[in-house]
Chain A
Amino acid sequence: MSYAYLFKYIIIGDTGVGKSCLLLQFTDKRFQPVHDLTIGVEFGARMITIDNKPIKLQIWDTAGQESFRSITRSYYRGAAGALLVYDITRRETFNHLASWLEDARQHANANMTIMLIGNKCDLAHRRAVSTEEGEQFAKEHGLIFMEASAKTAQNVEEAFIKTAATIYKKIQDGVFDVSNESYGIKVGYGGIPGPSGGRDGASSQAGGCCS
């Protein structure tokens, strides 16, 4: 499938908060509690439509364990969007947000759009972080915020799409120079043909034809 834009996303946050489950729910529309923990990074992709334009999301699901960070950081480079995830039933995952944010700000580009996700909201009875606290943190740090559940799919679609819409708006507003790939955006057909538009398999095959 061809796309107008390709956005690179990263998903970050403590181990076990449900990053891989969110990705799987978004790409495959299923919740699979028995999948492997993430070593290094895993990839997912899906097409969405914003403003009638097909947009491909290429999503990097990173490993959450602290000691891997020196390596996973190198994956942040050139991401247009980030989903920063915590687990509403585990307070410490919320407490660590600041350090994740700092990492992201340091190693990703400054215009990266960050969506804060309080995951596992289906486990309301075990909630350890209130919705207000999540909202407050997001407000303080200029993030978009949603509570979601990879299990019930609540707000999963919305989180990914809202992030994309925000990035898209930034493009419309001229915030990015989209021909500069370090912003995590690639232009497909109909856009400005970037010098390296052929690098991505999908775009080179699709070059020029419409969806």
Chain B
Amino acid sequence: MQEAELHDLSDDADYAASQQQGSSSTMRTDSIKRSSSNEPDGAEIVYSKDNVAIHPTQFVSERISGRLKLIKQGSSLFMTWLPYKEQNSNAKQIEKAYVDRNLYTIKAVPFTEVRSIRRHAPPLGWQYVIIVLSSGLAFPPFYFYNGGVRQFLATIKQHVFLVRSAEDASVFLVNDFENPLQRTFSSLELPRLVSVASGPSTPISVGESPLKENQERINGYESSSISQYNGRQRQKVHDPTRDISIQVLEKFSLVTKFARETTSQLFRDGHSNGFGTFEKMFDSQPAQDDLHKASNNAEKVTDEIPVASDPLEFDKLSLVWGKPRQPPLGSEEWATFLDNEGRVMDSEALRKRIFYGGVEHGLRREVWGLLLGYYAYDSTYAEREYLRTIKSQKCILAFLLNYDFSISPEQARRFTKFRERKGLIDKDVVRTDRALTFYDGDDNPNVNLLRDTLLTYSFYNFDLGYCQGMSDLMSPILFVMRDESESFWCFVQLMERLGPNFNRDQSGMHSQLFALSKLAELLDSPLHNYFKQNDCLNYFFCFRWLLIQFKREFEYEETMRLWEVLWTHYLSEHLHLYVCVAVLKRYRRKIMGEQMDFDTLLKFINELSGHIKLDAILRDAEALCICAGENGAANIPPGTPPSLPIDSGLFYSQQEDEVL
């Protein structure tokens, strides 16, 4: 990987100013400097970089350059960013600018408060990072005019536990541990955990809010779940509650140590199969596992069904169908998938079962959380419950909403972007599924929840923000989860897969449409050729299907069924593309027979809404997917959403910049 070169900076006044200001310091910054007078006692500057800038607005003249530092004090790592003083002539201007600039000053943020760092390496322009705090707020992007992102991350990695997210290779998680309990502890703002018990017999008290019921439930499970836990691969892991109490007592400084111990322990005990460093293991294991199993399985199924060697032969095999659909998974059967602590014993079997029938509505809340990755398959009831409790403790929504109202008018002007988004979201939530009882009527609290969760997300992922279509995706999640915080976190997970659909430049959509055209070409080349001859090759008529996963094409209940089937990622993570082909194939005779042109086709496809038979189409899609086999997968360019976590053994592989 290379650092981005300096791109055209001629229009960048700020950059020019900083160049004049001190090229010597610029040159030296990459070397580690020992602190002298400026830093507090015992502190050591482990990284310092000049010309790291923020862009508060789109105006070049308002960019602010500064110095980014990492400071180590004791066992804690802090980050600071100080804007340069403006070297301007007009005294008044300086004063004003100084005040403004200081708004952005970052004074010693401890890494215990950092959740993740997203690295962006756009093909043009500077690399930048976005640092997300555990509160869910993010700092504005830091643009590294002189490069140094890699070293920045490498330095952090030397001092705190930093790991590439399994879901998104451009995200680096700080203090993120494998099991959800520990992850929860670290990624949540510990200050809110006022007191934490040290032994199993003492109640865990979480924050101020009365969550008695949950606490009791947790305590009920506590001793057994933890001992069970210890029985599996994690013998040396202490009672996590005790570790929290230590962390709290020592003001978080032990987090990193705890993390290191835990993970190295984990890998020493658990896996010793050929993988090198444990970071690698950590990064790639889940993805690899899934992929491996999925492909194994595809093979298995393939064996049972006659496969046309030439995909064009498929029409002759129209009797080859997917397996009969099953009734949705009910609670009795669901119980058979779980061990007595609530862990899913065989996640692949579960995903397969859901693939063939979906789940009963009453189970969705829990099962969706698993399918979306909000809960780990090997989490226990207690852990899931605890995750819910803790995460809702975050009060992130309230915090953000308050934030909106408590900022000064001066600051508010800087928040035009935020206000624009809020305006858009306000407009859209009143135009989302209002015919549904759950969202109907004036002053419906669920509409407010829908707004709050979307607003929070637009902050959480400030780059992506809000885009139309998201409310359609959030609506069923909220309908199922009922709870603000659970919905939010599940949506976050869903957007890990579908986020690129909402890129401003539509790149995610275009790559899906492209993949679709490749698949259609493979699975029905006459139809594909028909589209080609009739100027329909862009497949834009499938835009709505792809953007919101067929949400507008089916009844609400059917949409939920389809989604859970898609989310299993059983057979393929791109099953939805096969669903598209399956629908087109069903109507190919009509489309070609009536010689539909682009306009007529678009109208025809739009009006299929409500007329597609879900079960039959799913069987077709399954058959197509099996039929296409590896050829199908090979026709879908890597990175087409919704992609599984990319296995990246390399810590710093050049990633395509998916967001923005």
Question: Which A positions have Cβ atoms within 8 angstroms of B?
Answer: 8, 15-16, 33-37, 39-43, 63, 65-68, 70-71, 74-75, 77-78, 196, 199-200
Contact = CB atoms under 8 A, between A and B. Distances in A.
Contact of A16 (B427, B506, B538, B599): B427
Contact of B468 (A8, A34, A63, A75): A63
Interface of B: 424, 427-428, 430-435, 440, 467-469, 471-472, 502-506, 509, 538, 540, 543-544, 547-548, 552, 594-600, 602-603, 606-607
Contacts of B506: 67-68, 70-71
A71 B543 contact: yes
Contacts of A33: 430
Which 9 pairs from chain A and chain B are nearest by CB? Answer: A34-B434, A37-B431, A40-B544, A65-B468, A16-B427, A40-B543, A39-B544, A67-B504, A70-B506
B603 A67 contact: no
Contacts of B600: 199-200
B472 A39 contact: yes
B435 A34 contact: yes
B547 A41 contact: no
Contact of A15 (B427, B471, B502, B543): B427
16 contacts: A15-B424, A15-B468, A16-B427, A34-B430, A34-B440, A36-B472, A43-B607, A66-B504, A67-B467, A67-B502, A70-B506, A71-B543, A74-B538, A74-B540, A75-B602, A199-B594
A184 to B, nearest CB: 9
A99 to B, nearest CB: 15
Contacts of A196: 595, 597
B76 to A, nearest CB: 42
Nearest to B439: A34
Contacts, number: 77
Contact of A37 (B468, B603, B606): B468
B540 A68 contact: no
B432 A37 contact: yes
A169 B435 CA distance: 42
Interface residue SS majority, chain B: loop
Contacts of B540: 71, 74
Contacts of B538: 74
Contacts of A65: 467-468
A78 B427 contact: no
A8 B599 contact: yes
Contacts of B602: 41, 75
A74 to B, nearest CB: 5
Contacts of B433: 36
B461 to A, nearest CB: 15
B548 A36 contact: no
B276 to A, nearest CB: 42
Given A8-B599, A71-B540, A74-B540, A39 B469 contact: yes
Nearest to B467: A67
Given A74-B540, A75-B602, 5 more contacts: A36-B431, A39-B543, A43-B606, A43-B607, A70-B505
Contacts of B607: 43
A33 B433 CA distance: 12
Contacts of A15: 424, 427, 468
Contacts of B595: 196, 199
Contacts of B471: 37
Nearest to A8: B599
Q: Which of A40, A63, A68 has the most CB of B within 10 A?
A: A40
Nearest to A33: B430
A40 B541 CA distance: 9
A78 B424 CA distance: 31
A56 B544 CA distance: 26
B478 to A, nearest CB: 16
